[in-house]
Chains A and B, each alone.
Chain A
Amino acid sequence: MIALHHLNKTYEGDGRQVIALRDINLQIETGEVFGIIGRSGAGKSTLLRTLNLLERPDQGQVLIDGQDATCLDTAGLRVLRRQVGMVFQHFNLLNHRSVANNIRFPLELAGALSKTAINTRVDELLELVGLHAQREQYPSQLSGGQKQRVGIARALANHPKLLLCDEATSALDPQTTQSILQLLLDINRRLGLTIVLITHEMAVVRAICDRVAVIEGGQIVERGPVADVFLHPQHEATRNMVAEDGHAATLDLAGKLGNVSGTLLRLTFVDATTYEPVIAQIGQALAAPMSILQGSVGRIKDRPYGQLIVGFNGDAELAKRAFEERGVRCDVVTV
């Protein structure tokens, strides 16, 4: 488990101060995939780097399994870093080393294994990321997705308990992004590895994260299970990011709904209720038909969800109660 307490970090450059982190408090549970989402310059990269002390916070504690990493000396820090894997946006592979030798690199640095043990481990990792055929190739001969697979294999070499992903899919095309995200999810499940990732894309969070924190101006402005944050964003920064993602029924309909009479309701279904004919049943029961104006259905990680905006002519309070009895969240939308 990771706990961040009151992290602050200020950069000084050219005579002006830039606050990168402002009183960050965060708890990340063992085995979860935790997303940190924010725009560029929001501080997410700095925040991620405090977890392995590549960035040293000015104040605050970084507790990893109860141990404060900010108190470690250089040697202690190296030991910690060997237990924390890191994957980078631009892969950061060593160009002079083949695929197998890139994966071997952290094992050589650690110096704990014999040559044969290292070779065995490298074979396992090549297997895990599906790059056996490329083992003798050099990074320049690989596609972006293959490079990131090498990056992931390298990060896992020393059996880390925590994997940090710095925009790991931002340099990849959408299809490759999906395959890398699936690989990360697979690793998370099979190895029980905790993953902390930063991204500016809601789609990445939706695909693999359990919980998410939204960072804006060096502060965490919203946090919670992905479904909650995604379907009911509270902070403006979150709402904007959800809207850009285009996969939630966000209401940007002001002015476009001039001829819709009645009340607008936002209905949110998750899990099993997604599959039930709730709208038809309640419409019938209240003898007031509903018209679907906007909506989306999909999956958040593996939870099905649906979010609809419906026009309703009838008693909104009654409808709200009826929906909530059926496990569907219902909010009255004001345009």
Chain B
Amino acid sequence: MNEIGFDWSVIDWADIWLATQDTLTMLGVSLGFTIILGLPLGVLLYLLSPRQLMANKPAYSLLSFVVNALRSLPFVILLIILIPVTVKLVGTSIGVAGAIPPLVVGAAPFFARLVEATLREVDRGIVEASQAMGATLWQIVTRALLPEALPGLLAATTVTAVTLVSYTAMSGVIGGGGLGDLAIRFGYQRFQTEVMVVTVLALLALVQLLQMTGDWLVKRATRK
């Protein structure tokens, strides 16, 4: 160890690489499922809300309550209380696989709310014009609403991805692995500040990369 304080030789780069892979896997898979579940949920919230195409106050209130309830649970708690469900779904409650169901359950309601808000931004006139042209509900959603909202949906996906990165850091609680877990176990609990520095830098780079990619996609998709 030199006098400035950092001894980079304590870092096991293979571990770092493994952790990075775990983080990327958790992020990729859970983001995929979050979109698959959250997008329809968001569309449904939008359609059921007052003055929209399927306006239904009781159904909207119920769905809205469920979404709020899931969002109000801290992620760490969600990780633990979902263990029985996780075991049913993926056969294990630990490791990368065990982390994915709680990640999705944590992020999908969040993403759904963002989708709902984004769809609300679409000019009502476009929905009306589509109706006047004889579009079915499915056509309105898939050919008018979602494509019109694409820039906003991409921005929502970016925000969700970044949120998922910070959620993955907590998956260490159930042995989920990943960069955040590494930072806590080695960097914090074993006082290996070097590991902390490297993992934080890696997370920083990942978030920057996600945000830049997201911004670039939004810009490309924007026609306004």
> Are A140 and B129 closer than 8 Å at their CB atoms?
no
Task: Verify if B135 is at the interface (C-beta below 8 Å from A).
Answer: yes
Chain B residue at minimum C-beta to C-beta distance from A164: B132
Task: Verify if A108 is at the interface (C-beta below 8 Å from B).
Answer: yes
Contacts of A79 in B (CB 8 A): 134
> Are B134 and A54 closer than 8 Å at their CB atoms?
no
Q: In whole Å, how far is B70's beta carbon from the nearest beta carbon of chain A? A: 31
Contact-residue size bin, chain A (C-beta under 8 Å from the other chain): 20 to 34
Q: Please, how many angstroms separate the alpha-carbon atoms of A92 and B150 in the complex?
A: 17
The interface bits of chain A over 76-93 (1 if a CB of B lies within 8 angstroms of the residue's CB, else 0) are 011111101010101111
> Are B143 and A92 closer than 8 Å at their CB atoms?
no
User: Which residues of chain B from 125 to 159 have a CB within 8 Å of any chain A CB?
Assistant: 125-126, 128-136, 139, 143-144, 147-148, 150
Contacts of B221 in A (CB 8 A): 96
With an 8 Å Cβ cutoff, the count of chain B residues facing the other chain is 21
> Are B133 and A109 closer than 8 Å at their CB atoms?
yes
Q: Please, how many angstroms separate the alpha-carbon atoms of A79 and B147 in the complex?
A: 24
Known contacts A81-B133, A81-B134, A82-B134; is-contact A94 B147 (Cβ 8 Å): yes
> Are B224 and A95 closer than 8 Å at their CB atoms?
yes
Point out which of B123, B133, B147, B148 has the most chain A C-beta atoms below 10 A from its C-beta. Answer: B133
Chain A residue at minimum C-beta to C-beta distance from B131: A54
Q: Please pick, from B129, B134, B224, the residue contacting A92 in the complex, using a CB distance under 8 A.
A: B129
Q: In whole Å, how far is B182's beta carbon from the nearest beta carbon of chain A? A: 42
Known contacts A94-B126, A108-B143, A109-B139; is-contact A86 B148 (Cβ 8 Å): no
The interface bits of chain A over 44-83 (1 if a CB of B lies within 8 angstroms of the residue's CB, else 0) are 0000000010100000000000000000000001111110
**Residues of A that sit less than 8 Å from B by CB:** 52, 54, 77-82, 84, 86, 88, 90-97, 105-106, 108-110, 138-140, 154, 158, 164
**Residues of B that sit less than 8 Å from A by CB:** 123, 125-126, 128-136, 139, 143-144, 147-148, 150, 221, 223-224
